[in-house]
Amino acid sequence: MAAAEFDIPEVKDTIEIPKLREGAMAHAKSFIAPKPVQDFMGYPHELGEDWKERALDKMGDLLGKYRSLKVFLDACVHCGACTDKCHYYLGTSDPKNMPVARQDLMRQVYRRYFTTAGKLFPKLVGAKELSKEVLDDWYSYYHQCSECRRCSVFCPYGIDTAEITMAGREILNHVGMGQKYSNEILGKVQKIGNNLGLPGPALEDTLLGLEEDIEADTGVPVKLPMDVKGAEVLLVTPSADFFSEPHVESLIGYAKVFHAAGINWTLSSHASEAGNFGLFNGNYETMRKVAMRIRDAALELGVKRIVVGECGHAWRVAYSFWNTLTGIGYGGNDPFSIELQKQLDHNYPQPQHICELTNDLIKAGKIQVDPSKNDDLVVTYHDSCNVARASRMGDMPGGQFIIPRELIKSVVNNFHNMADDTIYESTFCCGGGGGLLTDDLMEVRVKGALPRVTALNAVVQEHQVNFMATICAICKAQFTKVLPKYGFDMSMVGGVHQLVSKAIKLEVAEQAD
Amino acid sequence: MIFAGVFYIATLLLVAGLVYKIFDYSRTPAPLKIPTTPAPTTQSGVVYRMAKEVVLFESLFKSNKWIWVFGWLFHFGLFLVLVRHLRYFLPTIPEWLVFIQPFGMYASFMMVVGLAGLLARRFLVDRVRYISTPSDYLMLVLLLGIGLTGMMTTFVVHTDIVALKEFFMGLMYFDVQPVPTDPIILTHLALVALLMVIFPISKLLHAPGVFFSPTRNQADNPREHRHVAAWAARLDQNN
Ligand code: HEM
Ligand code: HEM
Ligand code: SF4
Ligand code: SF4
């Protein structure tokens, strides 16, 4: 559906902090989830008489369950250090997109109903009644936060606005104001097995088609197996990898890596999705249900290792939460987690990121690559927020920055980083994460991409960079849509395994077999 | 005598409020591993990270040099001033506390300069002005008031320290003594009492809060250790 017209921001040489423009993005409203979508999720689809009590009840419930929420709502001193850290503020200049102001939308209500000071002197401490206007603000601005955690890096107490946004969306869901995009996807993944809603047979066809393409292209019969019992590795990857460009190029890359290394692997039709939008909505039970598909598939197929494809928030959920939610990992001492953990091969981290796997194979000489195959490219790397600030790779802090770069540098000859304050843990979100990757939020997405585009533009000017690699399905989809608005070619963005795919030598492993 | 009552009540509210808050924070579970990465992978690493945050304001240093300079001047000054104040509450004064006295005196300048800088930012920077509530200004004014009245007593019109100490020692042993009567020290004390009362119900909770912040106090080891909150563990049993 066509969104309203808006101006594309001008790309300057450096990222500038704009002057406030109040209400600049108040009109941006993601579509509300209709009845069938909300019904499936067990949420109401419209505000009832008692919405206010329901909202406050839910808030009380969450305050009791999440220390993060309670401490973050209390601890902020309004120092202002985070005010210029959010890409949505930098791109839209709407003050309510400053992290602390976004938190304050909830904090004002928290203070009014849950704190002594706010009950006694609401005006003094900025406490406010929960009104329909406040609720509308929540809906609007909690869907202009990609839960990227950049603000959390810079806050002296680590206050993570993403936690507040998640709680806000959870409360909105409970009063009947769900977001269509995320909740539809959560329905599809639970009913069909993946976010795109591809049924098993369609998936099988696609994989066969890809196998033919690869063979035609390389002359090597690289397979994309599905539901193979007893395989060593279960690969769980975002469903965009099966269908979207440029994602599919990375899927081909993973397949070639497994083939070249002689690893017996499989996809699962039951768990044909690594993404987990339960994260975005801040609902533990939903996130757990969606993650359980992976556990079930792993038990069913009897695999020894679980590897995750290129997806940012999926990697956060996998790395940081799977062990908690489903027992995929180590160190469990309860029957639930032991059941799975005794099946897994303890020589490998569980779950493992595909970049960890490929990088280890290259370093160990188990697969060969020829970086000159990518000599037409000058590459930069976009750290995806969930990988950078909410997870890790390898065995030391910061491995999530080192390993993908090591891997890229082993398969390409020309690599340049973007400016330091826009990469690593200071990376700027692509602008489409956290459940915002929908056309009805296009203005937010385009404007939110401004800081990243500014940094990219600088290396394009200086080093003639013509390819930005990334390991997130959302980043890829967002950039292919948004970069053209800023005058860049959409094929400029792609996966790390897209580069691996071009450089990998398939024949060598054939001989070694 | 009013002051004796005021200080008993203020102390009670401060202690009870803080104990309750700390108890409340510690009983509220953190069901998921959410350290802001890169994060230390061990518990001792976490202690080191936290120490850098509390002593050096490391994250703040990364994000904004002006706030860091003023904020750190204020807090470090405050810390020295408070240490110096121990002399009113200890029966005998240890060697190191004697040593620290002059530093404590001049630290009050750090504190006040820091506070003034922070207050100026609230007026001058449009983003900070936008997020400031009346209480944010008043908190700084209150602390400035305490600092300035204290400095008046130290540098301009001295008070009877011996009598003051007797008053506070008396309070501590439930043997109420007369309080010195000059207006400046009385203002100092009244403002301090107010600060004590609002501490547990205001943003000053950042002081205990920082230690409970899951993004800073968790080790990054979710693949190696299974972390499950009690309310979440119950879900596993239904499977
Ligand atoms: C564990 C001890 C403490 C730590 C780590 C700490 C840390 C911080 C940090 C990092 C800030 C933000 C930067 C700034 O504006 O200065 C801050 C602000 C503030 N702190 Fe603390 N603090 C502590 C204890 C205290 C105490 C005991 C008080 C008061 C009696 C206090 C009063 C304030 C005030 C009023 C602000 C807000 C300043 C403003 O308005 O900009 N802090 N604190
Ligand atoms: C019950 C608690 C307190 C008592 C009895 C007290 C008493 C005093 C006295 C008697 C002085 C004058 C010292 C002299 O003449 O040499 C003073 C100074 C001062 N006070 Fe307090 N005060 C208290 C709490 C505080 C607090 C909480 C703060 C800060 C927030 C503070 C900040 C200052 C400052 C900055 C000075 C001037 C510098 C110095 O002499 O250390 N006071 N205070
Ligand atoms: S989490 Fe990211 S998008 Fe949300 S407020 Fe913080 S910086 Fe902005
Ligand atoms: S940096 Fe942290 S404490 Fe400061 S205003 Fe932002 S959220 Fe509040």
Q: Which residues pair with A234 in a beta bridge?
A: A266, A306
Are the CB atoms for A385 and A150 separated by under 8 Å? yes
Q: What CA–CA distance (Å, rounded) separates B106 from B147?
A: 11
For A234, the enclosing helix (H) or strand (E) is strand A233-236
Its pTM stands at 0.95
Phi, psi of A233 (to 5 degrees): -115, 130
Q: Chain B residues with CB inside 8 Å of A64's CB?
A: 28
At residue A513, the pLDDT reads 42
Q: Where are the domains of chain A?
A: 35-178, 188-416+465-512
Amino acid A425 reads: E
> Could you tell me which chain B residue has the CA closest to the CA of A121?
B135
Q: Which of A20, A115, A155 sits opposite B126 (nearest CB)?
A: A20
> Is any ligand 3 atom within 6 A of the Cβ of residue A72?
no
Average pLDDT on B114-143 reads 97
**Which are the contacts of A2, defined by CB distance < 8 A and separation ≥ 6?**
none
> Is any ligand 4 atom within 6 A of the Cβ of residue A98?
no
For B97, the enclosing helix (H) or strand (E) is helix B95-124
- CA distances (Å), origin A366, targets A222, A274, A399, A435, A499: 17, 26, 21, 38, 18
Structure-token pair, residue B202 = 């205001």
B63-87 pLDDT, tens digit per residue, is 999 999 999 999 999 999 999 999 9
Average pLDDT on B158-167 reads 92
End-to-end CA distance of chain A: 52
Nearest Cα of chain A lies from the Cα of B201 at a distance, in angstroms, of 6
> Is any ligand 4 atom within 6 A of the Cβ of residue A71?
no
Structure-token pair, residue B128 = 């900070």
Q: Chain B residues with CB inside 8 Å of A77's CB?
A: 136, 203, 206
Q: Which residues pair with A470 in a beta bridge?
A: A495
At residue B85, the pLDDT reads 95
Say how many Å lie between the CA of residue B73 and the centre of ligand 2. 17
Are the CB atoms for A41 and A186 separated by under 8 Å? yes
> Is any ligand 1 atom within 6 A of the Cβ of residue B210?
yes
Q: Provide the 8-state DSSP code for A32.
A: B
Q: Which of B59, B121, B225 sits opposite A154 (nearest CB)?
A: B59
Strand order of the β-sheet with A379-381 is A379-381, A467-470, A493-495
Kindly give the pairing relationship between strand A467-470 and strand A493-495: parallel
Q: Which residues pair with B96 in a beta bridge?
A: none
Are the CB atoms for A266 and A203 separated by under 8 Å? no
Are the CB atoms for A62 and A406 separated by under 8 Å? no
Q: Chain A residues with CB inside 8 Å of B117's CB?
A: none
Collapsing DSSP states into helix, strand and coil, what is residue A415?
Answer: strand
Nearest Cα of chain B lies from the Cα of A382 at a distance, in angstroms, of 16
Structure-token pair, residue A279 = 């994260």
Q: Chain B residues with CB inside 8 Å of A124's CB?
A: 133-135, 138
Nearest Cα of chain A lies from the Cα of B45 at a distance, in angstroms, of 11
Residue A27 CB neighbour total at 10 angstroms: 10
> Is any ligand 4 atom within 6 A of the Cβ of residue A101?
no
Crossing angle of helices A161-175/A99-114, nearest 10°? 60
- Closest-lying ligand 1 atom to the alpha carbon of residue B114: 16
At residue A193, the pLDDT reads 87
Phi, psi of A265 (to 5 degrees): -130, 170
For A467, the enclosing helix (H) or strand (E) is strand A467-470
- CA distances (Å), origin A291, targets A65, A279, A318: 20, 10, 8
Average pLDDT on B170-188 reads 91
At residue A313, the pLDDT reads 97
Are the CB atoms for A443 and A402 separated by under 8 Å? no
Structure-token pair, residue A370 = 């020829």
Helix/strand/coil percentages in chain B, nearest 5: 75, 0, 25
Q: Chain B residues with CB inside 8 Å of A332's CB?
A: 226
At residue A2, the pLDDT reads 45
Kindly give the pairing relationship between strand A379-381 and strand A233-236: unpaired
* Half-sphere exposure for A248 (CA within 13 Å, toward CB): 13
At residue B50, the pLDDT reads 98
Are the CB atoms for A278 and A234 separated by under 8 Å? no
- Across the interface, whether the CB atoms of B206 and A77 are under 8 A apart is answered yes
Q: In the CATH hierarchy, which top-level class contains the domain A35-178? A: mainly alpha
Which mutation among A89, A100, A147, A157 tests ligand 3's pocket best, with the greatest number of atoms within 8 A of CB? A147
Q: What CA–CA distance (Å, rounded) separates B106 from B100?
A: 10
At residue A509, the pLDDT reads 44
- Identify the CA nearest to A235 among candidates A352, A317, A345: A352
Q: What CA–CA distance (Å, rounded) separates A410 from A505?
A: 13
Helix/strand/coil percentages in chain A, nearest 5: 55, 5, 40
Q: What CA–CA distance (Å, rounded) separates A151 from A81?
A: 9
At residue B181, the pLDDT reads 85
At residue B237, the pLDDT reads 80
Low-confidence ranges of chain A (pLDDT < 70): 1-4, 508-513
**Which are the contacts of A204, defined by CB distance < 8 A and separation ≥ 6?**
A226, A269
> Is any ligand 3 atom within 6 A of the Cβ of residue A181?
no
- Identify the CA nearest to A240 among candidates A178, A288, A198, A192: A198
Residue B235 has pLDDT above 90, yes or no: no
- Across the interface, whether the CB atoms of B32 and A74 are under 8 A apart is answered no
- Across the interface, whether the CB atoms of B38 and A117 are under 8 A apart is answered no
At residue A5, the pLDDT reads 80
Longest dimension (CA), chain A: 79
- Across the interface, whether the CB atoms of A67 and B29 are under 8 A apart is answered yes
At residue A4, the pLDDT reads 55
Q: Provide the 8-state DSSP code for A352.
A: E
> Is any ligand 2 atom within 6 A of the Cβ of residue B217?
no
Average pLDDT on B84-113 reads 92
Q: Chain A residues with CB inside 8 Å of B141's CB?
A: none
Q: Which of A20, A157, A330 sits opposite B210 (nearest CB)?
A: A157
Q: What is the set of domains in chain B, with CATH numbers?
A: 2-26+40-217 (1.20.950.20)
Question: B interface mutation test: which of A141, A157, A281, A328 has the most B CBs within 10 A?
Answer: A157
Phi-psi region of A23 (alpha: psi -120 to 50; beta: other; left: phi over 0): left
Strand order of the β-sheet with A265-266 is A265-266, A233-236, A305-308, A352-353
Say how many Å lie between the CA of residue A429 and the centre of ligand 1. 29
Nearest Cα of chain B lies from the Cα of A319 at a distance, in angstroms, of 6
Q: Which residues pair with A353 in a beta bridge?
A: A308
Q: Ligand 3, atom 3: nearest CA belongs to which residue?
A: A145
Collapsing DSSP states into helix, strand and coil, what is residue B218?
Answer: coil
Q: What CA–CA distance (Å, rounded) separates A32 from B164?
A: 65
Q: What CA–CA distance (Å, rounded) separates A327 from A321?
A: 9
Structure-token pair, residue B166 = 């007797």
> Is B124 exposed, middle or buried (CB count within 10 Å of its CB: 0-12, 13-18, 19+)?
exposed
ipTM of the complex: 0.96
Counts of helices then strands in chain A (DSSP H, E): 26, 7
Average pLDDT, chain B: 95
For A190, the enclosing helix (H) or strand (E) is helix A180-191
